[in-house]
Structure 1
């Protein structure tokens, strides 16, 4: 008599199902593990610090901007008059126009120069490339006070720039660069270009390293030259890095204060006045705290809007 195998019932327990969560009139399964609220508890200290150091002072600045106040006496209600003055008052409208002009030097030129240098360095292998990259990036790590003092000496009437022009026979081009109403703002802007292009170059070099070599080989097989390779392969692949570089340089250009304060002090006249300098000037020199707060709040809103628009415009084309 042969033994007959008796089937044994499977007593193993089925895997535990993730808990259900009531959302929108129906149950949805939630991923197993700790509740999501635990994650917010971990982030709570950082959020609290952000609220105390950023959100509360910003809300207080908005409140101050609705008053006429000199910082000492009793404040009087002003409503939105401090904000309407940003449009109607030329002394307040001018700094914002100057800031937008400086974006050409702080954002556009550094990105173009950084793209050019990154494209050249990624194609050409030369000795001492690491040293060359370090030298180009060095202005980014220098304190802005040091940069401003150095360039103020370079731009001085008897400074390095005019002395070099005299030495090469171009003394007729010598100018009091920071004292000229037409040239002071571009002169300050070129300092911003010198500071920011190293950051853009490093970002773009890092982006070039992740581009597959096969794309360049395919472009060469199709008969593309170096310029066509850059437009068809390098530039589309660097869109995320360009968005990051544009965001960082726009923020740096709009919040520019120390460079203007040390080199020109907003002069000559108000030819180089920018919003951040105007906030300091009105709050601590002329006793217009409400107006200064309105300028600061408007500057923060402008930075937010421009960075969001630029980032969406650049990254949106990639999707």
Structure 2
């Protein structure tokens, strides 16, 4: 008699194992993230420990580039300018966006979809176009000065991008115009999730518009505020193209920011090591500030 054929148990494949499924789905994204984000960051960290012009041999200098940055007045000034831009890119858009979003939410403006598209429009316009347009607006004979002269404020007319005291706020105001629509849209989306019954109950209790805002609206959109601050702070600290196309870091060094310093040191001064050190310091600052914003938002939630 022939022995019965034993069926061999098939081992479960790796693909069929539910334990490995999440990693398999994440693997392509992790590969792309590692290739285009982590690897350049690691290379920049490596370059920051060398004295290198971008061509030829490099000399290992350890942390000397970072020590030089600590004593560099131009770099400290660039950091100060970046924090000034944070006020225009993050704080002002948040304050204005909160006020306008609350007014629109309370007033139930018709055509909200069209209005949201209009206020978000600066986000989809190429920054090169934005820079050229605002250079024309800020020109000595541009629309802004013509308007000031027309209303009798001739003493306020000036070359906005050519004066050291006015250039940085002028660039910052462009950032306010750019980011205000994004912040306002995020806050409107958050306010749209608040049930109308909550506002009706507050009004029955005699709450006014200001009390409604601080007791209901503001706590409900805390997550959107944190998101808006993270996005706008990153935009402020990594601003390069707007500065490069409007002022070129000038007049003098009045509008120089760390991201512009990376470009200047790498391509104008041919000091790749110092430029990489600036980039690493800027990355750490962005990470620390946004980590602090996120932690504060989570703690107060």
TM-score by length of 2: 0.92
Decide which of 168, 173, 176 is 2:159's aligned counterpart: 176
Structure 1 residue 194 corresponds to structure 2 residue 177: yes
Shift of 1:55: 1.0
Indicate conservation of the 8 Å contact 1:243/1:310, yes or no. Answer: yes
Which residue of structure 1 aligns with residue 12 of structure 2?
A: none
- After TM superposition, the structure 1 = structure 2 runs for residues 1-319 of structure 1, keeping only pairs within 5 Å, are 34-318=17-301
- For 1:193-242, what per-residue CA distance to the aligned partner results, in whole angstroms no more than 9, with x for missing partners? 00001001111111111112222122223321100100000000000100
Which stretch has the larger CA shift, 35-44 or 61-70?
Answer: 35-44
Measure, in 2, the Cα distance between the counterparts of 1:210 and 1:73: 59
- For 1:147-171, what per-residue CA distance to the aligned partner results, in whole angstroms no more than 9, with x for missing partners? 1110011001111111111122211
Larger Rg: 1
Shift of 1:57: 1.1
Measure, in 1, the Cα distance between the counterparts of 2:92 and 2:292: 19
Higher relative contact order (CA 8 A, sep 6+): 2
Measure, in 2, the Cα distance between the counterparts of 1:131 and 1:54: 36
**Structure 2: runs of 5+ lacking an equivalent:** 1-15
Shift of 1:88: 1.3
Which stretch has the larger CA shift, 81-90 or 269-278?
Answer: 81-90
**Structure 1: runs of 5+ lacking an equivalent:** 1-32
Indicate conservation of the 8 Å contact 1:239/1:315, yes or no. Answer: no
SS in 1 for 2:164: coil
How many residue pairs get aligned? The number is 286
- For 1:44-89, what per-residue CA distance to the aligned partner results, in whole angstroms no more than 9, with x for missing partners? 1111111111111111100000011111132112211211222211
